[in-house]
Structure 1
């Protein structure tokens, strides 16, 4: 993501202004390219393998949890084949050369895959929660699973749409040939920009993490209670 500081005033004391370090191809860009390339290969192999193995199973034997894992693999592959190549190409060219429309579209998909991955993980944890703690509520379990996945996809779309509004292509005020896909001058104040960033962090990471921790902590506690009851029952009949 382009740093808004790139657009701050560049002045020279009566001399020709020079490009800032982050406006030129440097070691940081090399590291980004290598890192994203390695992660892309690993993610592509791993998630494609999972997706193929799940798809090979017959429809009538595919479990609900496998369906959710399939959606999780799809979400990760969206990140792998959309976000990562974008970051690699962006780091290689330094400037944004794909135009304003593609800037907004890619800004949407850069967040969509991440949101979807987090929300599907929430679906899996909630599904396991009901399976262990509320087994009597399994009558409409397949319908509930479909509803949760639908909400995950819809929620990811809604949360990612603002990206198409806040991101745009802008030219550098001094080096007019230099274009970047940024959020500069979109927000009326720094407070608004910070609020938007916090919303993304809370929605994508904090809330899903809380739900996942609560779900699996409850499962562990329930399993522990059942194991103690089972052990106590065996001791009484010994």
Structure 2
């Protein structure tokens, strides 16, 4: 942490994140390629919700293409050689992926909710045009939320050879205010909408015997996937991002606390975990298939073959 008197384990970041980013890049590209192929092959079976799923895949690809540059940076002891403008673009793509993923998962949750709770009253009126318009709105909202982040400095005060994921010490107080508002609008509100939808869905499923068994299974599968994504990727990221910003403010004020280094390490781990969403989101493509187990095994086998192929004898 710049301008701080509180020691933190900086080396942990350099040792941890390059391996996570490299693994997510390889597995994510294979998984998203396979998932999108499966989506297109079953486009007519799954309905208009495919528009949201397709956009979810686009957010993943956008983020994955920036990971090699971050791997190079951390492999060079966090030295950034690609310029300030590209640093901000890289962070902007990450934010589009993160909050776009949350937004489109929320859209899919609402769509599933309407399909189960109001199948006749609402679902017959939803067209591809409607889902496409909502998708455009999600992209616009996420872009508007993420745009202020690009106006915060992403380099240290005296050098441009660092690419910070938040901002430097001179602006950390204002950035925490922005981050808390961003967390509320970009994460908390969609999270509670998703929880409300699936809470009602579970209640309806438990009370109604007329709902198709396959539809019940698909809804429960998607609920498990959403819980996995929020628990592993999104909640730790937002919690430790804001705690770490607060710790940086205390450190800047020379108010060292015993938990500051622990929060710093947890923050770096959460950065790796939130990156995993680009590799886990393809589960959404596959959750509607009856043979999801076989699909996932095949997808993992292809990812493993891609990773191990360079080491196999020719």
Q: TM-score range by the shorter chain?
A: 0.7 to 0.9
Structure 1 unaligned regions, length at least 5:
10-19, 230-238
Answer yes or no: is the 8 Å Cα contact 2:115–2:123 preserved in 1.
yes
The CA distance in 2 between the partners of 1:7 and 1:155, in whole Å, is 34
Structure 2 unaligned regions, length at least 5:
212-314
1:51, distance to aligned residue in structure 2 (A): 0.8
Q: Deviations over 1:76-100 (max 9, x none)?
A: 2222222x32331221121222222
Higher relative contact order (CA 8 A, sep 6+): 2
Q: Which residue of 2 aligns with 1:87?
A: 70
Give the TM-score normalised by structure 1. Answer: 0.75
Matching residue within 81, 85, 89 for 1:101:
85
Matching residue within 23, 37, 47 for 2:32:
47
The CA distance in 1 between the partners of 2:2 and 2:61, in whole Å, is 31
Matching residue within 144, 147, 162 for 1:158:
144
Is 1:127 paired with 2:123? no
Q: Which residue of 1 aligns with 2:19?
A: 34
Q: Which residue of 1 aligns with 2:286?
A: none
Is 1:184 paired with 2:168? yes
SS in 1 for 2:163: strand
Distance of aligned partners of 1:106 and 1:7 in 2 relative to their CA distance in 1, 3 Å threshold: farther
Q: Which residue of 2 aligns with 1:196?
A: 178
Larger relative helix fraction: 2
The CA distance in 2 between the partners of 1:21 and 1:220, in whole Å, is 44
The CA distance in 2 between the partners of 1:198 and 1:104, in whole Å, is 20
The CA distance in 2 between the partners of 1:211 and 1:37, in whole Å, is 33
The CA distance in 2 between the partners of 1:69 and 1:21, in whole Å, is 39
The CA distance in 2 between the partners of 1:163 and 1:111, in whole Å, is 9
Moved more, 199-208 or 157-166: 199-208
The CA distance in 1 between the partners of 2:95 and 2:183, in whole Å, is 11
1:185, distance to aligned residue in structure 2 (A): 5.5
Is 1:145 paired with 2:145? no
The CA distance in 1 between the partners of 2:169 and 2:122, in whole Å, is 51
SS in 2 for 1:95: coil
1:72, distance to aligned residue in structure 2 (A): 1.3
The CA distance in 2 between the partners of 1:30 and 1:130, in whole Å, is 46
1:49, distance to aligned residue in structure 2 (A): 0.6
Larger C-alpha radius of gyration, 1 or 2?
A: 1
Matching residue within 165, 173, 187 for 1:205:
187
The CA distance in 2 between the partners of 1:133 and 1:27, in whole Å, is 48
Q: Which residue of 2 aligns with 1:222?
A: 204
RMSD: 2.8
1:36, distance to aligned residue in structure 2 (A): 1.6
SS in 1 for 2:201: helix
